[in-house]
Chain A
Amino acid sequence: MIPPSPSTPRPFITARIDKMLIALYEVARFVGRFFREVLLPPYEGREVIRQCYEVGVRSLPLISLTGFITGIVFTNQSRPSLAQFGATSWLPSLVSIALVRAIGPLVTALIAAGRVGSNIGAELSSMRVTEQIDAMEVSATKPFKFLVSTRVLATTFMIPVLTLYAISVGLLGAFLNVNSNEATSFRSFITEVFGTITFLDVFSSLAKSIVFGFTIGMVGCYQGYNSSKGTEGVGKAANAAVVTSMFLVFIEELFSLQIVNAIRSF
């Protein structure tokens, strides 16, 4: 069989598969480079702490508000269903399981994808556009280690912390709601909550928050670091950072659900 000449245009589908495989290879290389740079000295402790502050402390107001409102709304919306069976006393148990297992990690990750992911994507891509990353490269200052490794570590460390915080604030909202409606005392609310949630609930919630944090940081950095030149590239990178990381967070949530269910069935 005669091989096609180089000028022969590739069929549409083959070209798309080629493009997708190349993109996957690039992502794998980027992730591999992250682990190599993180493990090899010198370490960027100070910059990691600075980024942790940016990711964690600066997200607190938004996480507080959304966590608190989620707790109140979820409790309020669950009440009528339980009331039909005269089981409103189960509200603390129901809300705590929902907040710890799913809503807390998911809401935190989505808020972080919107706030932190877009910020990382826009910041790094504007540094790429204005040749600041090239300037770091040519002065041998290892921009990947300084810009990417530190940000991914910061999101990986801080999203679990923010998740725990969001769950706590959500539970506070839930308590205020059941307290005002069912006159449940704080002591009995806490007893109900901690009697329901298990170690596996908390552990799986934290484990997937770590994965969400890593994903948000990695996607934001990948989109920003590899953005195309021009102001259009900055917008695209910020947008792609949010959309891709939100999409991946939902996929990971599905996988983690299957894994935890499999563990529970043992």
Chain B
Amino acid sequence: MNNKSKKPAQSAETVIEIENLHVAFGDNEVLKGVDLSLQRGENLVVLGRSGTGKSVLIKVIVGLLKPDSGRVVVLGQDVVDSNTTELDQLRLKVGFSFQNSALYDSMTVRENLEFPLVRNVRNLSRAEIDRAVEEALDDVGLKQAINQMPSELSGGQRKRIGIARTLMLKPEIMLYDEPTAGLDPITCTDINNLINDVQERRGASSIIITHDLTCAKEVGDRVAMLFDGQFQRQGTFDEVFATDDKRVQQFYHYNFTE
């Protein structure tokens, strides 16, 4: 298995900066002082066991969850102190792909894709909307699904349509929550290629939450491992796994040797 071969150019510009982030649900402190940064054009993979707060982290980044303390700056804007209008402006530049795709099940694929565009960009002509929808579907290779309902799609197709919907607003940052969870190896490869494609063709910076090491290896420029509410290891894929730490080794061996 190859590490991500072609590294796209990254600039030194930091697009996400997180400092000393604490999030607790009642007595259960999930994130205990997390520090993280994402550079423009970079794919950062966040690995960790289930329930370690990976999804919580990206939900804090888009303002879906309020942290108990800490600083979260996205594209120069402090998310924690932003009001609703400022947050909405920021969200136009950040795409979020949900673990279960979160497609609007009362709408067709076309309506799903149109929805963020029509509601955020006023005065678009019908032809412009149709072109944008077709382009997005073309990017994910699902042009034929345009008039289908989400319930008629397979898991992999739903995932790709979910990603296409987030791409409609041409985001600068993409956040993927478990993009390959529950999919067969071939569909996983398709999704990994799509994530790389989004990075290369659209120049998006991405955080990919996963516990799939194949995905981490194929898409990640950098990998960060979340244990006990903090990032214990960060670096390239090989650097992160070059350790005797039992927890890290367990992760590796389950995916690649057992």
Contact call B102/A137, Cβ cutoff below 8 A:
no
What residues on A are CB-neighbors of B59 within 8 Å?
A: 134
- Please encode chain A, from 120 to 161, with 1 for each CB lying within 8 Å of some chain B CB and 0 for all others: 000000010011101111111110001000000000000000
What band does the interface of chain A fall in when counting residues whose beta carbon is under 8 Å from B? Answer: 10 to 19
Known contacts being A134-B64, A135-B98, is A140 close to B120, with CB within 8 Å? yes
Known contacts being A131-B98, A134-B98, A146-B119, is A139 close to B166, with CB within 8 Å? yes
Beyond the given pairs A135-B96, A140-B92, A141-B119, 19 more chain A to chain B contacts, judged by CB atoms under 8 angstroms and listed by A's residue number, are A130-B100, A130-B102, A131-B98, A131-B99, A134-B102, A136-B115, A137-B91, A138-B62, A138-B64, A138-B91, A138-B96, A139-B95, A139-B166, A140-B91, A140-B116, A141-B115, A141-B116, A142-B88, A146-B119
What residues on B are CB-neighbors of A141 within 8 Å?
A: 115-116, 119-120
Task: Tell me the chain B residues, 6-25 only, with Cβ under 8 Å from chain A.
Answer: none
**CA–CA, A134 and B175, complex, Å:** 14
Task: Tell me the chain B residues, 51-101 only, with Cβ under 8 Å from chain A.
Answer: 59, 62, 64, 88-89, 91-92, 94-96, 98-100
- Please encode chain B, from 108 to 146, with 1 for each CB lying within 8 Å of some chain A CB and 0 for all others: 000000011001101000000000000000000000000
Q: Which residues of A contact B (CB under 8 A)?
A: 42, 127, 130-132, 134-142, 146
What residues on B are CB-neighbors of A146 within 8 Å?
A: 119
* Residue of A with least CB distance to B120: A140
What residues on B are CB-neighbors of A140 within 8 Å?
A: 88-89, 91-92, 116, 119-120
B120 in complex: contacting residue of A134, A135, A137, A139, CB < 8 Å: A139
**CA–CA, A138 and B65, complex, Å:** 11
Distance (Å) between the CB of A186 and the closest chain B CB?
44
